[in-house]
Amino acid sequence: MMMDSFSDFRSMVWSYFYNSDKENKQRIRPRIIEEITPFYLKKFDEKIKEEGYLANRKLSWVDIYFVAVLGYFSFMIESDICSTYENIRDLRDRVHAIPNIKKWVERRPETHW
């Protein structure tokens, strides 16, 4: 269920970012940033607060995927979308503290996102 909700959110953000019509992109940007992103992130933040993770009350691929894609979303909307959501930040930090993930994050190539 959480992955389905995240997929819906992801589709909306991607449709904004990859929109080739600049006028339409500027028109929908406020809705993505002010309505859609807070709507979904608030729900994800509450779920993490209640259960510690997004699925099954333990770390799963859903959490790792969520954290990875949120980094890309921050690049897409030009804002650290995790900054307002304490529980999402905590999950991100816990995922980034996993030894092999931490090692990758420290050594990965520099990119825009």
pLDDT in tens, 82-110: 889 999 999 999 999 999 999 998 998 88
- Under the banding of pLDDT at 50, 70 and 90, the label for residue 113 is low
In a domain, 23, yes or no: yes
CATH number where 68 lies? 1.20.1050.10
Q: Rounded to two decimals, what is the model's pTM? A: 0.86
Q: Is residue 48 part of a domain?
A: yes
Measured distance CA(73)–CA(54) in Å, rounded: 18
Is it the case that residue 1 has pLDDT exceeding 80?
A: no
Evaluate whether residue 113 is within a structural domain.
no
Q: What is the tens place of the pLDDT at every residue in 24-69? A: 999 999 999 899 999 999 999 999 999 999 999 999 999 999 999 9
CB 8 within 8 A of CB 67: no
Q: Is residue 29 part of a domain?
A: yes
Instruction: Check the CA dihedral 74-11-86-52 and report its sign.
Output: negative
Q: Which two tokens stand for residue 47?
A: 């779920």
Q: Is 112 within a domain?
A: no
pLDDT for position 77? 78
Domain assignment present for 77: yes
In a domain, 74, yes or no: yes
pLDDT at 73 over 90: no
- The number of distinct structural domains making up the chain is 1
Look up the domain containing 85 and give its range: 2-107
- Asked whether 91 and 67 are in contact (CB, 8 A), the reply is yes
Whether 14 is in a domain gets the answer yes
Q: Give the pLDDT confidence score for residue 2 in this predicted structure.
A: 77
Place of tokens 């959110």: 9
